[in-house]
Amino acid sequence: MANGLGSTPFLIESRLRQAARGDANACFDLGVVYSSGAEGVGVDLIEAHKWFNIAAASGSESAHMCRAEIAEDMTAREIIAAQKAARAWLRATTLRAA
């Protein structure tokens, strides 16, 4: 799997499916999981920023705040990597929906 998880917990797989359908709440939940290390997943601020960015693009005010908060603990390169990953996800899901 692209996120580097060998065996992704069911909750994350479920949220990924929902996120692929454009569910901003699922994107926010994924941001929380990766920023906190919940669900047996290690903390990954790049992945968390990516999901908060996608949720924020869908109008989630909470995601805007969370993204800004974790960005304080990230380097500029990490933020750029997260932004690229968010754009790639949005491009891929938009192409699948078309």
This prediction's pTM = 0.85
The b/e string for 44-59 (b: 16+ C-beta within 10 A; e otherwise) is bbbbbbbbbbbbbebe
Instruction: For residues 12 and 36, give the distance between their C-alpha atoms in angstroms, rounded to a whole number.
Output: 13
Per-residue pLDDT, 3: 43
Residues 58-68 have a mean pLDDT of: 94
Per-residue pLDDT of 13-57, as tens digits, reads: 999 999 999 899 999 999 999 999 988 889 999 999 999 999 999
Residues in the chain: 98
